[in-house]
Amino acid sequence: MKRLLLLQWFLLATVMVLAQDGSPQQQLTALQDNFDHFAKTYPQERVYLHFDNTSYFKGEHIYYKAYVVDDASLKPSDMSKILYVELVNPIGYPVETQKLMVRNGQTSGSFLLKDTLNAGFFLVWCLSVIWRTQVMSKPMGRQMPRLFLP
């Protein structure tokens, strides 16, 4: 809620800056100052997932590596120390959740596709601690098929 209010304040301040008299350069400078203030108050992160394959059979592992980077600089982030990674079945229910420690903006792990899982398109998604606290966020994820053996 707090984030939504700050975003509304940011948009209102932007409209007020553009409505003021002054040169376009002054308006752009004021707009950039508002944006910088917003970025410093609410830093953003991105999480990239790298997988070892594009599809899997039962009994195989889904190996992955996650990169947590600062949104502005795209350099390894030190804001989140924990990453939540979840394997979700085709109807949207979590099969397994992992809580991993992030070091130097990186972490890795794996999911075992048990024999009890049916074939279908499974989703692996992740959330950093920063993302979990943000109202307007959506998790980073990727769908991958789990196939039957012939």
Given the structure tokens 């070892």, which residue do they identify?
A: 52
**Contacting residues for 102 by C-beta, under 8 A, at least 6 apart:** 66, 68, 80, 81, 82, 83, 128
End-to-end CA, the chain: 51
Regarding beta strands 120-128 and 106-112, do their DSSP bridges make them parallel or antiparallel, or are they unpaired? Answer: unpaired
More confident residue, 140 or 96: 96
Task: Using alpha carbons only, give the angle 93, 99, 102 rounded to the nearest 5 degrees.
Answer: 135
Rounded CA separation 126/132 (Å):
10
Q: What is the pLDDT of residues 48-85, one digit of tens each?
A: 999 999 888 888 999 999 999 988 788 998 888 999 99
The residue-averaged pLDDT of 89-118 equals 92
pTM over 0.85: no
46 touches 138 (CB < 8 A): no
pLDDT score, position 24: 77
The residue-averaged pLDDT of 2-22 equals 61
23 touches 49 (CB < 8 A): no
Q: What is the pLDDT of residues 107-118, one digit of tens each?
A: 999 999 998 888
141 touches 107 (CB < 8 A): no
More confident residue, 54 or 44: 54
Residue 137 has pLDDT above 80, yes or no: no
Given the structure tokens 């190996």, which residue do they identify?
A: 63
Measured between alpha carbons, how far is residue 100 from residues 43, 78, 127, 141 in Å? 21, 14, 11, 16
User: Above pLDDT 90, what percent of the chain?
Assistant: 27
Q: How confident is the model at residue 11 (pLDDT cuts 50, 70, 90)?
A: low
Residue 31 has pLDDT above 90, yes or no: no
pLDDT score, position 100: 95
